[in-house]
Amino acid sequence: MESTDIAIVGAGPGGLAAAAEATRAGAQVVLIDENDGPGGQYFRLRRSGVSGPVGPATRTMELKSRLLKEIDSSRLRGLYHTSVWGVFPGEMLALERDGEIDLLKFRRLIVATGAYDRPVAFPGWTLPGVMTAGAAQALVKGSGVLPGRRVLLAGSGPFLLPVAEELAAAGATVVSVLEATRPRAWLPCLARIWGRWEQIAEGYHYMMALRRAGVPVRFARIVKEACGGDRISEVVTVAVDAQWHPLPGTEERLAVDAVGIGYGFLPSTEITRQSGCTHHFDELRGGWLPVHDHEMRTSVQTILVAGEAAGIGGARVAMLQGRIAGVTAARDLDYRDASTTDRRLRTVRAALTHQRAFADVLLDVFRPRPGLLELVTDETLICRCEEIPASQIARYQTAWPSDLRNWKGVARPGMGLCQGRICGRIIAALVARQTGQQEQQLGMPTARPPVKPVSMEALARLDVQAEQYVLSTADQMRMIRDSGHRQDAGGSVSA
Amino acid sequence: MSTLRIASPGQPPVTIYVDGIPVDAWEGETVAAALIAAGHSILRFTPRLRQPRGIFCGMGICYDCVVVLSGAGAVRACMTRVRPNIRIETGAARPGKSGRPE
Amino acid sequence: MSNQIFTDAQIVVVGAGAVGMSVAYHLARRAMNVVILDKGSVCSETSSATFGLVWVQSKVPVYYTRLSLLSSNLWPEVVAELDEDVEYRRDGGLRLALSEGELETLGAFVAKQAQVEGLQIQLLEGAEVRQMEPEAGPNVVGGSFCPQDGHVNAIAYVNSLARVAARLGARILSFTPCTGIARDSHGAVSGVETPRGTIRCRAVVNAAGVWAAQVAWMANVVVPIIPCRGQILVTEPLPPLVSRPLHILRQSPLTGVVFTGETSEFVGTDRGTTLSAFRRHALRAIEMVPVLGRARALRMFSGLRPWPPDGLPFLGPVPRVPGFYVAAGHSGITLSPVYGKVLSEIIIGGQTDVPIHYYDPSRFDGRDEITFSRFGETITLDMRNWPDEALLARPAATVA
């Protein structure tokens, strides 16, 4: 079993920033990511030979370059194409790579596992061609392939804009960008935007780019249904009120061959939930989140968190939190760098406060409204993996209070390979609505290892000292023999 | 070159086999991208309702994009990179085709 | 949603798992006024984290085998009353031997069990096992087969039973813990105390499983049950591979997930999972069904089994506390129907035709110490300081 000073899970903005600070301070760091290389979703590797639009996207790549240069690579070991499936007592990280399991002992763990596009269910959402906005972006940016020739983007929030720009610049016809909010909902945002020149410039850049490309942006409209035989051929959109309730009679049909849905992000909190960190429910920043202090420590002494996994906030927040976490973890282990002065940290903290506040404003303005849940019909599949429709979830209403765990046990969603990531929040919202409770009252879903699918064969080959007594076949056989004796003796009880 | 591809990748394509048929692809792109570029938006059929699925999350968590890669078994197309001469089968019933987990 | 407290009942059942719900169902079916309590949701403890076997062949001694067989025979008629498919299958169960040594031990055991009246059990060779279950691997040298074994989805079963019981008039109070047993001047049960008030009743059934010791203590009754952890590994949904339970491996007929392994650990109420169990379970599963090597594990959970020192149920009245009954022990899934039958018969008619004197809840009375071993681990319960809070720490009730 290997060991290291600081293990960082996730090589996106948060993880890279943490790695930069920690290695500079002198700590040995292992950086782990499921992808082929560093960057995560935000700094997605652009395939060579494929150029993208100039502007914020270019600046993002420059930022990544600078961050990578900050890392002292002599102290960094990058483990890519590697998944982290559990944290075990004794500060052990369980990894899987290429069908082999490794254990990594750490002194500090920084969880920077990022986020994923919020899944939103509606009729036809499982059709080929319907994907998340992130998936559409990954195809174009990462591989230079369009998801379709006629693409509709729909959802809420600023993320739709760079995706639209990327698609348009790549030659797709972006038939429309649908933003569920209406501009007057942005007033709180506009009031707080003064002084944030970078964000203003970015917003302006995207709006101009879309205008030049002839991409219509429509407000207060959402995707209601995706239609098609074996793949999507048409999308039905509908106007919505301020709470995103569909307004009957406003449906429109559009011929498309791909749809990108982007309603914000959900944090990947499986590792912090599984490892015993205390969590609290914060609807705005993505639901159940690990409680952390300003040094990015969780309630578990050896575990820190940074980035989206600590609460949705965007890449700038992630990088600043990552720096703080990296410094904190390194300092815990008595590693200090000349540059990790209190003064610099104060600057970082001030910047974090500043960015966090703006991120929160955006989250609030573009938060999902209750009307979205109305798109779900009885037949709409909720558990995509196991093909369980909403009616199956709804049929177990009882006269006595239940909890989410029991609902799920009975309706049986979440047993598939996504381990409940896609259906989890949707089910919680449906059950909450059905039982008249708040989602928070349903309790936090438990996470246990493995938090990623892990090969049975690899588990069988695990090289581990038995730290707990586990029933063995020899013991089973002994039991059978012993019970035979007991039977002979007339069933006497040991006293 | 497929109309879904953007720009010229500046390197020659490699050949991969999709359901037995040779197809151009570029090293470095994901299998998901190569399949979509080649017109295969249906990656599998679900076991119970036999519904078509394509890519959904694009980042390896939804397991909708599972295809069978010769020699490796069931893989997520969005997390697997193209290499020369790989053989892909789409339309598998579930991760693990023809009744066997792979 | 209101969770009204009921102030009156004839019988209160404490614990809404497989045992308690079965008792409530049987009582409600016979028009008794029954209220069932649970500190959590219906089916929130052992029954929600168990294997789901309805198992007879390995039970010893002979009277316990016969109790299990009786219960197994009652299962089909209960299932017929339920409102959905709870994945109950009774196509027999197999216990596999993976070496000649294991086969020899198994053979001797089968020979003994075959003498139990009514039990059908036979030793099979490897080839015969593979004929029955083609995915059984080449390392399987034989197995014991009992056609009276089966399996079920325990969570679906308990919840379905709850809905049926409720329709028959049983009143279910979830998130309502039992905090005390009220007794009258003669020492007989007069009510059950909860945070929301007292429910007057003439009988209480302690079906609190893992927490049966604490609930019994509320009536000054000693029921030495301690938690025994079992870790269970679950795979991704798979095509049909095994149709019968293989004792420590079974596949869900509905979803195709394969459950494997059961540990047996006395670790108090620790519901964690261990790396060594991961390895142990995966290794054994692949030895039995090699094709599972190519599957992925998606979940591992721990259940706490209620373990009595002699492994036998606590089933019956406690004469010195009139109106107090106990129905607790391990294998609550298998025994669920018979617990319900016996207790409803005793409570309503004062007697049952099932021989239950072996399971006297008071059989450990008067002991200063109880020592027992299981799989090489020896546990000593100090009965002078009972209940042992460290061993039995009961979580605070959650209120919905």
**Min Cα separation B100/chain C (Å):** 7
Per the CB < 8 Å rule, is B4 touching A231? no
In a domain, C274, yes or no: yes
Per the CB < 8 Å rule, is A131 touching B33? no
CA dihedral defined by C13, C15, C17, C23, rounded to 10 degrees? Answer: -10
- Chain C contact partners (≥3 CB pairs within 8 A): A, B
Cβ-based contacts of B95 with chain C (< 8 Å): 236
Per the CB < 8 Å rule, is A127 touching B34? no
Domain A130-263: CATH superfamily is: FAD/NAD(P)-binding domain (3.50.50.60)
> In this model, does residue C393 exceed pLDDT 80?
no
Per the CB < 8 Å rule, is B99 touching C291? no
- CA gap C304, B84 in Å, rounded: 52
Q: Which of B47, B95, B100 sits opposite C291 (nearest CB)?
A: B100
Question: Which of C101, C121, C147 is where one domain is finished?
Answer: C147
My answer on whether C159 and C300 are in the same domain is no
Same CATH fold assignment for domains A2-116+266-340 and A130-263: yes
Tell me which residue of A437, A410, A412, A434 sits closest to A423, measured CA to CA.
A412
Residues in chain C: 400
Listed in sequence order, the DSSP H helices in chain C are 18-29, 62-80, 100-113, 126-132, 154-167, 212-217, 275-288, 332-349, 389-392
In a domain, B41, yes or no: yes
My answer on whether C317 and C212 are in the same domain is yes
Q: Taking residues C119-144, what's their average pLDDT?
A: 97
Per the CB < 8 Å rule, is B53 touching A134? no
pLDDT of res. C8: 82
Residues in chain A: 495
User: In the block, which residue shows the tokens 């298998």?
Assistant: C334
Cβ-based contacts of C240 with chain B (< 8 Å): 99
Q: Which two tokens stand for residue A83?
A: 């998944």
Q: Which of A448, A481, A490 sits opposite C301 (nearest CB)?
A: A448
- Could you read off the pLDDT of A210-266 as tens digits, one per residue? 999 999 999 999 999 999 999 999 999 999 999 999 999 999 999 999 999 999 999
In a domain, B47, yes or no: yes
The number of beta carbons lying within 10 Å of the beta carbon of residue C138 is: 9
pLDDT of res. A48: 64
CA dist A348 to A10, A240, A318, A342, A489, Å? Answer: 21, 41, 12, 10, 75
Per the CB < 8 Å rule, is B6 touching A171? yes
> In this model, does residue C400 exceed pLDDT 50?
no
pLDDT of res. A489: 36
- The complex's ipTM? 0.92
Compare all CA atoms of chain B with the CA of C240 and give the residue at the minimum distance.
B99
In a domain, C73, yes or no: no
Decide if A37 touches B, using CB distance below 8 A.
no
Domain boundaries, chain A: 2-116+266-340, 130-263, 376-495
> In this model, does residue C299 exceed pLDDT 90?
yes
Tell me which residue of C296, C238, B57 sits closest to A453, measured CA to CA.
C296
Number of domains making up chain C: 3
State which amino acid sits at residue A489.
A
Is the entire prediction scored with pTM above 0.90?
Answer: yes
Cβ-based contacts of A173 with chain B (< 8 Å): none
Cβ-based contacts of B47 with chain C (< 8 Å): 237, 239
Q: Which two tokens stand for residue C356?
A: 């239950």
Q: Which two tokens stand for residue C67?
A: 């109790």
Tell me which residue of C150, C323, C142, C376 sits closest to C245, measured CA to CA.
C150
Per the CB < 8 Å rule, is C292 touching B102? no
- Could you read off the pLDDT of A332-368 as tens digits, one per residue? 999 987 777 788 899 999 999 999 999 999 999 999 9
My answer on whether C323 and C378 are in the same domain is yes
Parent domain of B77: 14-89
- CA gap C17, A406 in Å, rounded: 12
pLDDT of res. C398: 35
List, as own/partner pairs, every contact residues B47-50 make where C-beta atoms lie below 8 angstroms and the sequence separation is at least 24, other chains included: B47/A387, B47/B93, B47/B94, B47/C237, B47/C239, B48/A386, B48/A387, B49/A387
Per the CB < 8 Å rule, is B46 touching A129? no
Q: Which two tokens stand for residue C218?
A: 């509320």
Of chain A, the percentage scoring pLDDT greater than 90 comes to 73
Per the CB < 8 Å rule, is C60 touching A477? no
Parallel/antiparallel/unpaired status of strands A76-79 and A29-32: parallel
Compare all CA atoms of chain B with the CA of A136 and give the residue at the minimum distance.
B58
The number of beta carbons lying within 10 Å of the beta carbon of residue C127 is: 12
- CA gap C97, C109 in Å, rounded: 12
SS3 (DSSP) at C86: coil
Mutate to test the interface with A, among C98, C298, C382, C383 (most CBs of A within 10 A): C298
The DSSP bridge partners found for residue C265 are C229
Query: Dihedrals φ, ψ of A475, to 5°?
Result: -70, -40
Domain A2-116+266-340: CATH superfamily is: FAD/NAD(P)-binding domain (3.50.50.60)
CA dist C280 to A463, C284, C302, Å? Answer: 11, 6, 14
Query: Dihedrals φ, ψ of A186, to 5°?
Result: -85, -5
Contacts of C131 (CB under 8 A, 6+ apart): none
**Min Cα separation A481/chain C (Å):** 7
Per the CB < 8 Å rule, is C294 touching B100? yes
Q: What's chain B's average pLDDT?
A: 86
Tell me which residue of C389, C39, C42, C394 sits closest to C195, measured CA to CA.
C39
> In this model, does residue A466 exceed pLDDT 50?
no
Mutate to test the interface with B, among A130, A131, A308 (most CBs of B within 10 A): A131
Per the CB < 8 Å rule, is C294 touching B95? no
My answer on whether C218 and C274 are in the same domain is no
Parent domain of C127: 93-147
Yes or no: say if C203 and C12 are a contact pair by the CB < 8 Å rule. yes
> In this model, does residue A470 exceed pLDDT 70?
no
The chain B residues in contact with chain C (CB within 8 A) are 47, 73, 93-96, 99-102
The DSSP bridge partners found for residue C204 are C12, C324
Mutate to test the interface with B, among A143, A231, A419 (most CBs of B within 10 A): A143
Cβ-based contacts of B95 with chain A (< 8 Å): 417
∠ CA C362-C365-C371, nearest 5°, is 110
> In this model, does residue C399 exceed pLDDT 60?
no
Q: Taking residues A409-419, what's their average pLDDT?
A: 91
User: At C302, which helix (H) or strand (E)?
Assistant: strand C296-307
Yes or no: say if C322 and C186 are a contact pair by the CB < 8 Å rule. yes
- Could you read off the pLDDT of C205-221 as tens digits, one per residue? 999 999 999 999 999 99
> In this model, does residue A486 exceed pLDDT 70?
no
In a domain, B27, yes or no: yes
Q: Which two tokens stand for residue A29?
A: 């760091």
Across the A:B interface, residue pairs with CB atoms under 8 Å apart total 143
Question: Which of C280, C307, C334 is where one domain is finished?
Answer: C307
> In this model, does residue A436 exceed pLDDT 70?
yes
In a domain, C74, yes or no: no
Cβ-based contacts of B101 with chain C (< 8 Å): 236, 238-239, 241, 291-292, 294-295
CATH number at residue B26: 3.10.20.440
- CA gap A162, A207 in Å, rounded: 10
Number of domains making up chain B: 1
Q: Which two tokens stand for residue C265?
A: 């650990």
- Chain B contact partners (≥3 CB pairs within 8 A): A, C
Compare all CA atoms of chain B with the CA of A262 and give the residue at the minimum distance.
B57
My answer on whether C218 and C314 are in the same domain is yes
Q: Is C366 exposed, middle or buried (0-12, 13-18, 19+ CB in 10 A)?
A: exposed
CATH number at residue C377: 3.50.50.60
- CA gap B19, C225 in Å, rounded: 59
In a domain, C216, yes or no: yes
Residue C397: band (very low, low, confident or very high) from pLDDT cuts 50, 70, 90: very low
Yes or no: say if A104 and A1 are a contact pair by the CB < 8 Å rule. yes
Compare all CA atoms of chain B with the CA of C292 and give the residue at the minimum distance.
B101
In a domain, C327, yes or no: yes
- Could you read off the pLDDT of C217-271 as tens digits, one per residue? 999 999 999 999 999 999 999 999 999 999 999 999 999 999 998 788 888 888 8
In a domain, C72, yes or no: no
In a domain, B74, yes or no: yes
Decide if A308 touches B, using CB distance below 8 A.
no
My answer on whether C205 and C316 are in the same domain is yes
Q: Is C143 exposed, middle or buried (0-12, 13-18, 19+ CB in 10 A)?
A: buried
My answer on whether C211 and C266 are in the same domain is no
